[in-house]
Structure 1
């Protein structure tokens, strides 16, 4: 079992209205610098406490992060933390030139000594609205970019690419990743057919608690493993990643009070425009890309689950984690502790309690159950 810290790096809400997109007039350089410094403190704590990985993601036009580029942040993390794996989970493919991305990821993998993991995601319509023309077919963009990226790392000779969305007379990516032929790749397992396609490609799958309770992700994991077996291979536990939000307090009552006061579990809050017309436009794009489900509908549908996926006292969170692990069978837990509306001291305390009380208990119980992958490596900070 590997434990990863998913961190958005530099979220700050002081003096900034909640909503998307965040106007540039609210930017304050000193607050942005201080927010990033606070983020480093949290990651330092996680690494020193024995987390196995640090993962970063891509979000634009939002004060949830001052580091929207996961590849740049991955390079920075790889140099600050020499002993843990770095997850770029991940680049939103429709927003990138896939050839340039292939070079950049290869460079970070070299810089890290081959310690990277990669998520290649389609992303949300909010990200598409930031940088992709409204008329673009983001699913087709993602699929072609995905295939081209893999070709960049596996082709033995220069090649040309003349596709529907990308057109290059000459492609010859140099350097290549240190990991051959590329770092472990996770695809977003949001639907059964995506999980099955990942299995046929011998790729890993990333599940998200936002899709539903553990039972929902357990079914997706089962479809993934069955498709892999049909394709002639058996995934390891670490081919299944589960991303979830965690909030630990001194007691269940304290956790519930903080959740109510600070909206800890509202994962879509930072994506909702404050302007009604912008919300209509974004709703339309979400519906077109999300099987007819708009952002407003999705948020309403998730209202009953707008609490962290694991929340409560250390004892309660241990039980929740072990139950989810037993049901889903994931080998990597990608855990997010931060939130744009949550005070820093609350986030820090939650991570401290998880590191000091939850993590050792989880590892002890999994070791007792015979999980051979359990380890407590710790890490160092440069």
Structure 2
């Protein structure tokens, strides 16, 4: 069982939603942005100190939900400041980028961290294609070829030519090479075709944004597809092939945690992820196809989210019980507890991290080890 600390480095100071995409950057004071990013880095280091196993960030463009247009930049700093935890780039959406450049930047993090890179290869979200003026057509096919190119760049010791459907390079030979011959790969659980692609590469299938209960139900549908594909390919995945990430607030009391979570989730829904919902839905309808229904406008209460497992929220003892319930329903080998979301303050994030390390982590790991020995619990 491994724990992921994940953040998008959200902008915490909006007083009202923009309602359009891209978000006008008049609201982004550069000095304040520096404070938010420095706090984000400090939380990453603190997360390792309290026992998180993966430290992760994603990529966002032109919106206040996340101020990390290139997670490899910040995670390179995290790699240099930490010693144990895996550095999880979750990740660079390859259809938007030069895959050779991604192979190079990922390899640098693996070298800098002495072999701790976890490489996320998402297709990317539709609004980021819009931000870069890139069509989503054939994006899954582009992703598939780009992953193969990155893997080849990591693994081949001599220069090689690449002539594919979407990419052409006369010679590829990256410096430095990664410490790991093939770092751990993480891919999305959103679409059936993407899940099959993940299973064929024995990648971790992850859901990073549990928006509501339907997302968790869809995750289980995707797990079935993954297991079926793996069986056809002749291998049996363990729980370490599956990961989910949920918001988390741990405080001195249940009431205090719920109060903080309610405010942060409301801010996230109104000012961040929900602030350009109509445009996002229009972009997503064809892109996600069979899973587009997951993106409908919905705001669940704290109590509802706790009930279906979409939020860990309470005192340390309550958090332990909620994590156990979540893992019984959705067994995974990597559990993300996103203590930094919405407009939570750095002190609130730090308190959650400290309480997790002191009074949650070991209890969950002990229980998880016992249930592993007793699979029919």
Fold shared by both chains (TM-score > 0.5): yes
Match of 1:198 in 2: 198
What is the distance in 2 between the residues matched to 1:216 and 1:21? 29
Q: Unpaired runs of 5+ in structure 2?
A: none
RMSD over aligned CA atoms reads 3.0
Match of 1:152 in 2: 153
The correspondence for 2:242, drawn from 221, 240, 243, is 240
Give a deviation string over 1:263-319, Cα, whole Å, max 9, x none: 358468524456xxxx65443212221228779x82425657667522233223212
Structure 2 SS opposite 1:63: coil
Q: In the alignment, does 2:341 pair up with 1:339?
A: yes
Match of 2:327 in 1: 325
Matches within 5 A, 1:75-86: 75-86=76-87
Match of 2:50 in 1: 49
Give a deviation string over 1:198-235, Cα, whole Å, max 9, x none: 22233222134347364543343243234323322222
Q: Which stretch of the first structure deviates more once superposed, 71-80 or 29-38?
A: 29-38
What is the distance in 2 between the residues matched to 1:200 and 1:268? 38
Structure 1 SS opposite 2:332: coil
Alpha-carbon contact 2:190-2:288 (below 8 Å) kept: no
Alpha-carbon contact 1:258-1:264 (below 8 Å) kept: no
Match of 1:12 in 2: 11
What is the distance in 2 between the residues matched to 1:247 and 1:355? 13
Give a deviation string over 1:341-378, Cα, whole Å, max 9, x none: 33333333333332322222212222333569xxxxxx
Match of 1:186 in 2: 186
Structure 2 SS opposite 1:263: helix
What is the distance in 1 between the residues matched to 2:257 and 2:103? 42
Structure 1 SS opposite 2:237: coil
CA spacing shift, 1:323–1:93, aligned 2, 3 Å: same
Q: Unpaired runs of 5+ in structure 1?
A: 373-382
Match of 2:288 in 1: 290
Deviation of the 1:55 alpha carbon = 0.9
Give a deviation string over 1:76-116, Cα, whole Å, max 9, x none: 11100012111111111122100111111112111111111
Structure 1 SS opposite 2:90: strand
Matches within 5 A, 1:127-146: 127-134=128-135, 136-146=137-147
Alpha-carbon contact 2:3-2:334 (below 8 Å) kept: yes
What is the distance in 2 between the residues matched to 1:371 and 1:72? 41
Structure 2 SS opposite 1:176: coil
Alpha-carbon contact 2:267-2:343 (below 8 Å) kept: no
Alpha-carbon contact 1:218-1:328 (below 8 Å) kept: yes
CA spacing shift, 1:186–1:320, aligned 2, 3 Å: same
CA spacing shift, 1:24–1:228, aligned 2, 3 Å: same
| Higher relative contact order, structure no. (Cα contacts within 8 Å, ≥ 6 residues apart) | 1
For normalisation by structure 1, the TM-score amounts to 0.84
CA spacing shift, 1:253–1:135, aligned 2, 3 Å: closer
Structure 2 SS opposite 1:5: strand
For normalisation by structure 2, the TM-score amounts to 0.85
What is the distance in 2 between the residues matched to 1:316 and 1:117? 30
CA spacing shift, 1:187–1:301, aligned 2, 3 Å: same
What is the distance in 2 between the residues matched to 1:261 and 1:204? 32
Alpha-carbon contact 1:88-1:118 (below 8 Å) kept: yes
Match of 2:39 in 1: 38
What is the distance in 2 between the residues matched to 1:323 and 1:242? 14
CA spacing shift, 1:173–1:14, aligned 2, 3 Å: same
Q: In the alignment, does 2:111 pair up with 1:113?
A: no
Alpha-carbon contact 1:3-1:332 (below 8 Å) kept: yes
Match of 1:375 in 2: none
Deviation of the 1:152 alpha carbon = 2.2
CA spacing shift, 1:174–1:246, aligned 2, 3 Å: same
Deviation of the 1:33 alpha carbon = 1.8
